[in-house]
Amino acid sequence: MQLSSQLIVNLEQAIQDHNIEEIKRLIKQVNHADLADVLATLSFDVQVKLIEYLPHAAYVFEFLSLAQQLEIAEQLPTSQLVQLISEMHSDDRTDLFKALSKNLKNEVYAQLDPQIQQQIQKLAQYAEESAGAIMSSDFVALSPNLTIPQAIEQIRQQASDRETLYLIYIVDQASKLLGVVSLREIILAEPTKRIADIMTTDLVVGAVHEDQESIAQKLSHYDFIALPILDDEQHLLGIVTYDDAMDVAQEEMTEDFLKSSAVSSSPKMSIKTAPIFFLYKKRVFWLVILVFGSLLSGIGISHFEDIISANIVLVFFLPLLVGSGGNAGSQSATLMVRALAMGDVQLKDWMYLIGRETLVALCLGGTMAFAVSILGYIRGDAMVALVLALSMMGIVLLGCLIGMSLPFILNRLKLDPASASAPLVTSICDATGVIVYLFIASILLGQVAA
Amino acid sequence: MQLSSQLIVNLEQAIQDHNIEEIKRLIKQVNHADLADVLATLSFDVQVKLIEYLPHAAYVFEFLSLAQQLEIAEQLPTSQLVQLISEMHSDDRTDLFKALSKNLKNEVYAQLDPQIQQQIQKLAQYAEESAGAIMSSDFVALSPNLTIPQAIEQIRQQASDRETLYLIYIVDQASKLLGVVSLREIILAEPTKRIADIMTTDLVVGAVHEDQESIAQKLSHYDFIALPILDDEQHLLGIVTYDDAMDVAQEEMTEDFLKSSAVSSSPKMSIKTAPIFFLYKKRVFWLVILVFGSLLSGIGISHFEDIISANIVLVFFLPLLVGSGGNAGSQSATLMVRALAMGDVQLKDWMYLIGRETLVALCLGGTMAFAVSILGYIRGDAMVALVLALSMMGIVLLGCLIGMSLPFILNRLKLDPASASAPLVTSICDATGVIVYLFIASILLGQVAA
């Protein structure tokens, strides 16, 4: 439930009064995500005190965005920051640590427990957007020889600071993964059995260098709560949990979404708070590239200047015809980009899809040709209507085929198909459209003039 | 791990031989999602037999898409279908049931257990895309007075067919929700305590008529495994689990993504399998609407026909100038649509964002104006360069402001801001761009001519 503002007022008062008992009473029933929302709204000196008094300050702190965490971290007394960082889960801790300023990083690192130092070193080494960079080392691992009651006792002992204890990993003495068992299965098992009897050995795993998007897809495909992450020798290094997978899926889709409008991907930026120059940089690159695309259209037009001067009515219909090709093309491209991202189609389906797309494009082109030829007849004559109908048919067909093929080609070249943005497809289709339209016009209307 | 093709061959052989022991041995270690993938590749008569022999056929069946489920359901003997449906989880069961043909629905319904009939009736009544339509009634509910060992015993008894037992709901005798407790907390608690002592009473809940997107956002915000769904009198009706929330989030983003290219939303369609006419219908509506947008550009052009005829070089730069406005505008619109969808900005931020966008647009416009004026000087003269620079500045600025405002206006009118698609923004910006360009040209070049 959303916190009442009365509670926030009471909480601020209790913090001012250093009334720790009252603070504990007030927040007892408030969950970590809501407490983080409260924390974010407080003034800095109240924040510091609340972090000092909170029983699980680190878990609340983790619900803040990285930018908010950094802002607080940079102002906290070092000793308090060290304690906070020590209590965080290993994945969030590493993210925050990597983002600290160089000085602060060194200062904090020196005061951390050697075991935590080692864990940070390990996790910080993995490439951005790899499984290693998002995994947590806070998992429960057991030996296969335990009986069920022994296992439950072990889980109780390990549980307090683990991300999940609902999937328990079974490892040998060298930390190689042997199997997995869910807490559900342990609860339901006969007490006389051993873990080895009930564990699953058909394992779905992720590799530590695997792309985070692929990890998120596996979790979602199998509906797992967590996925174990292994190195090349099958050693269990960490887990990625379903909530991290949700965040990754959202990040990746935002990236694709921005690319679809030719904005360089940067899923974490906010248009509300990002610096003006940063937003400029993310957008100017593609805008300038696209200028060259449009130049092609201009060159096409200048090639047909004579036929335009002689039939100025052609200019009236130019935006309509050219625009329709671009619109149909960006529809095709978006459908294809999405289908490739969802794993719905593969490269080998290309010919089959081109065939289907041709049929759809013929229907679309036919409808549009019919509509535009009526307009042409009203404003021009039967010949203009014919030019428009033929051009529209050809332009929509070409637009669809270009829009459908571009993501495939990019994929084939190992580039991100999402770069086949609507503006890029539009400017390619525009140039094609100009040439098709004016070529058809110059043949048909040229003949009439002759 | 992906199934080896050898296993599939062995499995098919065992099914042909009716060797149930061998089938059980082969599939013992294979998880449900992978078995569903195998099931989908088999021929129909082998499918029927595998469903007959599988120990948890219903849970495997649930991993198939609804279309695949329907295909099999329509060919199964009714008695087998009734058994399969009875064993499915309540949310997937209701979805399948609602999709059955009318005759089959009646036939199956008559043979179902009265308790299941009632459950289907209840769940089927909720509107599409509401919490009620995606929730499951398979949750574990306990009384607050149980001791910890009693609670564990109850969980063991209820566990077998429940979606999750990791969050346990505490209800009074009228089924009103009192609190929630995680299995982790139960495992860690002192055996002498009662459930009422350890349960959380600050509850995050969903309402049964709430939109599924809002439910998914709550689950993701709080990192919960499941969210309880209540009616207006606080009765616990069902739960929505994290894996359903992932599916919803993906569906909603796909919907926005398709809309961004002016394809009517239909997240479940596949470009590989959807009927041609269906794809045509989803695309033709916006294409025809956009024709009228382009007509505005045509009308703008025809209004300035004289200045074009006198300065045919203007046509060469027309696509470039007009296109740049559309491109900048669709960038702005996409950033804004995404920010609104993520809850990053609200309506009240509009004026502030317009101010920021104006700054970004001036930087973008300045860069583009500089580039295009060089081209203009090469191909025309200093006066043409000036016309181009001024027009580019104005067009990019207007494009950005239109792109940023349109999603806001749609949101204000209670329409989906995602309808401010790149093609729609482009065609509005195109018409504006034509007028700005030719108006500036007619003033500056007109004066020179006079």
Which of B148, B161, B327, B434 to substitute to test the interface with A, most A CBs within 10 Å? B327
Structural domain includes residue B134: no
Residue B395 sits at the chain A interface (C-beta within 8 Å): no
* pLDDT (mean) for A291-314: 82
Q: What percent of chain A has pLDDT over 70?
A: 96
Digit-coded pLDDT (tens) for B347-404: 777 888 888 889 989 999 999 999 889 988 888 888 889 999 999 999 999 999 998 8
Final residue belonging to a domain, choices A258, A293, A313? A258
Digit-coded pLDDT (tens) for A362-376: 999 999 999 889 988
Residues A419 and A297 grouped into a single domain: yes
Average pLDDT across chain A, whole number: 85
User: What local confidence, expressed as pLDDT, does residue A450 receive?
Assistant: 41
Residue A347 sits at the chain B interface (C-beta within 8 Å): no
The least confident of A304-318, A398-412, B98-112, B230-244 is A304-318
Residues A254 and A310 grouped into a single domain: no
Digit-coded pLDDT (tens) for A47-69: 888 888 887 888 899 988 888 88
Q: Which residue has the tokens 């550009």?
A: B297
Digit-coded pLDDT (tens) for A251-267: 877 777 777 777 765 65
CATH number of the domain residue A86 falls in: 1.25.60.10
User: What local confidence, expressed as pLDDT, does residue A55 receive?
Assistant: 79
Tally of CB atoms within 10 A around A33: 17
Question: B305 Cβ partners below 8 Å, 6+ apart?
Answer: A312, A315
Structural domain includes residue A264: no
User: What local confidence, expressed as pLDDT, does residue B168 receive?
Assistant: 93
Digit-coded pLDDT (tens) for B394-439: 999 999 999 888 888 888 887 777 766 778 888 888 889 989 999 9
Residues B114 and B221 grouped into a single domain: no
CATH number of the domain residue A184 falls in: 3.10.580.10
Q: What percent of chain B has pLDDT over 70?
A: 96
Which of A283, A292, A402 to substitute to test the interface with B, most B CBs within 10 Å? A283
Which of B331, B359, B397, B425 to substitute to test the interface with A, most A CBs within 10 Å? B331
d(Cα A391, Cα A434) in Å, to the nearest integer? 10
Residue B133 has pLDDT above 50, yes or no: yes
User: What local confidence, expressed as pLDDT, does residue A2 receive?
Assistant: 52
Q: Do A225 and B221 touch (CB under 8 A)?
A: no
Q: Which of A298, A334, A353 comes nearest B258 by C-beta? A: A334
Q: Which chain B residues are Cβ-neighbours of A56 within 8 angstroms?
A: none
Q: Do A339 and B201 touch (CB under 8 A)?
A: no
Q: pLDDT: is B102 or A315 the higher one?
A: B102
Can you spell out the DSSP letters for B49-92? HHHHH-TTHHHHHTTS-HHHHHHHHTTS-HHHHHHHHHHS-HHH
d(Cα B220, Cα B241) in Å, to the nearest integer? 11
Can you spell out the DSSP letters for B372-431? HHHHHHHHS-HHHHHHHHHHHHHHHHHHHHHHHHHHHHHHHTTS-GGGS-HHHHHHHHHH
The least confident of B45-54, B107-116, B281-290, B338-347 is B338-347
Q: Is B81 in contact with B71 (CB distance < 8 Å)?
A: no
CATH number of the domain residue B323 falls in: 1.10.357.20
Residues B219 and B364 grouped into a single domain: no
User: What local confidence, expressed as pLDDT, does residue A321 receive?
Assistant: 87
Q: Is A440 in contact with A390 (CB distance < 8 Å)?
A: yes
Residue B449 has pLDDT above 50, yes or no: no
How close does chain B come to A297, measured CA to CA in Å?
6
Q: Do A298 and B291 touch (CB under 8 A)?
A: no
Closest chain B residue by Cα to residue A353: B272
Structural domain includes residue B163: yes
Structural domain includes residue B265: no
Q: Which of B431, B355, B434 is nearest to B391 (CA)?
A: B434
Residues A85 and A157 grouped into a single domain: no
Structural domain includes residue A136: no
How close does chain A come to B16, measured CA to CA in Å?
24
Q: How confident is the model at residue A108 (pLDDT cuts 50, 70, 90)?
A: very high
How close does chain A come to B96, measured CA to CA in Å?
19
Q: Which of B155, B202, B353 comes nearest A187 by C-beta? A: B155
Residue A72 has pLDDT above 80, yes or no: yes
Digit-coded pLDDT (tens) for B277-287: 878 887 888 88
Q: Which alpha helices (H) appear in A101-211, and where do they start and end?
A: 102-111, 114-124, 131-134, 148-158, 183-188, 195-198
Q: Which of A56, A63, A48 is nearest to A27 (CA)?
A: A56
User: What local confidence, expressed as pLDDT, does residue B3 receive?
Assistant: 59
The least confident of A22-36, A222-236, B84-98 is A22-36
How close does chain B come to A107, measured CA to CA in Å?
32
Residues A298 and A442 grouped into a single domain: yes
Structural domain includes residue A234: yes
Window B:301-330, CB contacts with A under 8 Å: 301-302, 305, 308-309, 312, 315-320, 322-324, 326-328, 330
d(Cα A170, Cα A180) in Å, to the nearest integer? 6
Question: A209 Cβ partners below 8 Å, 6+ apart?
Answer: A126, A127, A130, A131, A132
User: What local confidence, expressed as pLDDT, does residue B169 receive?
Assistant: 95
Residues A151 and A254 grouped into a single domain: yes
Residues B292 and B405 grouped into a single domain: yes
User: What local confidence, expressed as pLDDT, does residue A253 receive?
Assistant: 78
Q: Which chain A residues are Cβ-neighbours of B290 within 8 angstroms?
A: 323-324, 327
The complex scores an ipTM of 0.72
Q: Which chain B residues are Cβ-neighbours of A302 within 8 angstroms?
A: 315-316
Domain region containing B102: 5-125
Q: How many CB pairs below 8 Å do chains A and B form together?
A: 343
Residue B369 sits at the chain A interface (C-beta within 8 Å): no
Structural domain includes residue A432: yes
* pLDDT (mean) for A21-46: 82
Q: Tell me whether residue A406 is exposed, middle or buried, using C-beta atoms within 10 angstroms of its C-beta: 0 to 12, 13 to 18, 19 or more.
A: buried
Residue B1 has pLDDT above 50, yes or no: no
Residues B11 and B87 grouped into a single domain: yes
Q: Which chain A residues are Cβ-neighbours of B159 within 8 angstroms?
A: 184, 187-188
Q: Which of B131, B76, B67, B120 is nearest to B97 (CA)?
A: B120
Q: How confident is the model at residue B180 (pLDDT cuts 50, 70, 90)?
A: very high
Residues A186 and A334 grouped into a single domain: no
Q: Which chain B residues are Cβ-neighbours of A397 within 8 angstroms?
A: none
Digit-coded pLDDT (tens) for A384-428: 899 999 999 999 999 999 998 888 888 888 777 776 677 888 888
Q: Do A276 and B336 touch (CB under 8 A)?
A: no
How close does chain B come to A45, measured CA to CA in Å?
26
Window A:81-140, CB contacts with B under 8 Å: none
Residues A111 and A203 grouped into a single domain: no
Q: Which of B221, B242, B312 comes nearest A33 by C-beta? A: B221
Final residue belonging to a domain, choices A225, A258, A291? A258
User: What local confidence, expressed as pLDDT, does residue B107 receive?
Assistant: 92
Q: How many CA atoms lie within 13 A of B396 on its CB side?
A: 30
Q: Which chain A residues are Cβ-neighbours of B330 within 8 angstroms?
A: 261-262, 422-423
Q: Which chain A residues are Cβ-neighbours of B345 within 8 angstroms?
A: 271-272
Digit-coded pLDDT (tens) for B319-332: 888 888 888 888 88
Digit-coded pLDDT (tens) for A205-220: 999 999 998 899 888 8
User: What local confidence, expressed as pLDDT, does residue B279 receive?
Assistant: 80
Residues B340 and B406 grouped into a single domain: yes
User: What local confidence, expressed as pLDDT, does residue B127 receive?
Assistant: 87
Q: How confident is the model at residue B269 (pLDDT cuts 50, 70, 90)?
A: low
- The count of structural domains within chain A is 3
Q: Which chain A residues are Cβ-neighbours of B427 within 8 angstroms?
A: 323, 327
Q: Which of B34, B263, B326 comes nearest A334 by C-beta? A: B263
Final residue belonging to a domain, choices A258, A292, A322? A258
Structural domain includes residue B130: no
Q: Which of B276, B308, B371 comes nearest A359 by C-beta? A: B276
